[in-house]
Amino acid sequence: MRFPRAALVTLALGAVAALACGPRDEPVDRADAAPKHVPASTAPAPASAPASKTERPRIVMLGDSLTAGLGLATTEAYPALIQQRLNDRKLNYEVVNAGVSGDTSAGGLSRLDWALAGDVRILVVALGGNDALRGLPPKQLKQNLAHIIERAQGRGVDVVLAGMDAPPNWGRQYIVEFHQVYPELAKQYRVAFVPFLLQGVAGSAELNQPDGIHPTAKGARILADNVWAVLEPIAGTR
């Protein structure tokens, strides 16, 4: 699924804001910047957060500022909302918000060992928005995401892949190639797939903060709906 054109324009206009919101993650080793494993419902996502002392199996949300919940209270970010739904259904998982603002797929890959530490059962991969905003090659995005999936599956971790689309300023060919990365990987590795993380939110002034790219609390609830629809069946049987 692709952005409607209005949403693509919104995403392009939000590029500067998005890139200014966090560290400039180039494809270099950033393991020292990886966030500690903390419950999404009780602790912030930054790297300085204290390590979790719980012993529950984990669901890790590996992403960028959309996952970190930039501009929102910790309890309003979609990983925290997923934690609440798990609690309500008495599914005994700890959700780890491993979102880092400004992160690319290369940045996510570089801190994967941090993300997979402990008893991780499910990994939600929600990366690529910053790759698109920077015009990084879709082939590079695909390679990075493939390595993340392979390493997670190699540890017996179920993967949920959340799709993203590119803004229009890089041209139609780039948009198409970028879009194809996610369904192709989902099919190749047989992973659960959220076609578009921002479905129902992108392009809506009501559901986005003034930067036009990061969801409001109401928008984050829709992101949680999008992820939960795919995640719940896995969490319920894991």
Q: What would the pLDDT profile of 106-123 be if each residue is shown by its tens digit?
A: 999 999 999 999 999 999
Amino acid at position 168, single letter: P
pLDDT at 50: 37
Mean pLDDT of 142-160: 98
Alpha-helical runs (H) found in 25-77: 65-68
Q: Which residue has the higher pLDDT, 236 or 49?
A: 236
pTM: 0.81
The rounded percent of the chain whose pLDDT value lies above 70 is 77
Q: Which residue has the tokens 């560290």?
A: 23
pLDDT at 151 over 60: yes
* Least confident interval from 23-32, 151-160, 186-195: 23-32
- CB–CB of 209/197 below 8 Å? no
Q: pLDDT band for position 24 (50/70/90)?
A: very low
Scanning the chain, the segments in alpha helix (DSSP H) are: 5-13, 15-20, 65-68, 78-88, 105-110, 112-115, 129-134, 138-154, 172-189, 217-235
Cα-based angle 182, 63, 148 (whole degrees, multiple of 5): 55
What is the reported pLDDT for 120? 98
What pLDDT is stored for residue 55 in this prediction?
80
Instruction: Check pLDDT > 60 for residue 20.
Output: no
Write the CATH number of the domain with boundaries 5-235.
Answer: 3.40.50.1110
- Mean pLDDT over 60-85 rounds to 98
pLDDT at 65: 98
* CA dist., res. 162 & res. 183, Å (int): 10
Q: State yes or no: pLDDT of 5 exceeds 50.
A: no
Task: Say what the pLDDT of residue 237 is.
Answer: 82
Active site residues: 65, 211, 214
| Among the listed residues 134, 178, 149, the one whose alpha carbon sits nearest the alpha carbon of residue 24 | 134
DSSP 21-86: TS----SS--GGGPPP--BTTTS--STTSPPP---S-EEEEEESHHHHTTTS-GGGSHHHHHHHHH
Task: For residue 113, count other CB atoms closer than 10 A to its CB.
Answer: 11
Instruction: Name the token pair of 198.
Output: 């921002």
Q: Across all residues in the chain, what is the average pLDDT?
A: 84
Residue 227 near residue 197, CB atoms below 8 Å: yes
State how far the Cα of 8 lies from the Cα of 209, in Å rounded to an integer.
16
How many other CB atoms are there within 10 angstroms of residue 135's CB atom?
A: 15
Mean pLDDT computed over 94-115: 97
- Give the start-to-end residue ranges of the domains of the chain: 5-235
pLDDT value at 2 more than 60: no
pLDDT computed for residue 54 by the predictor: 57
pLDDT tier for residue 28 given thresholds of 50, 70 and 90: very low
- The strand pairing partners of 158, in sequence order, are 122
pLDDT digits (tens, 9 = 90+) for 194-226: 999 999 999 999 999 999 999 999 999 999 999
Look at residue 42 and tell me whether its pLDDT is greater than 80: no
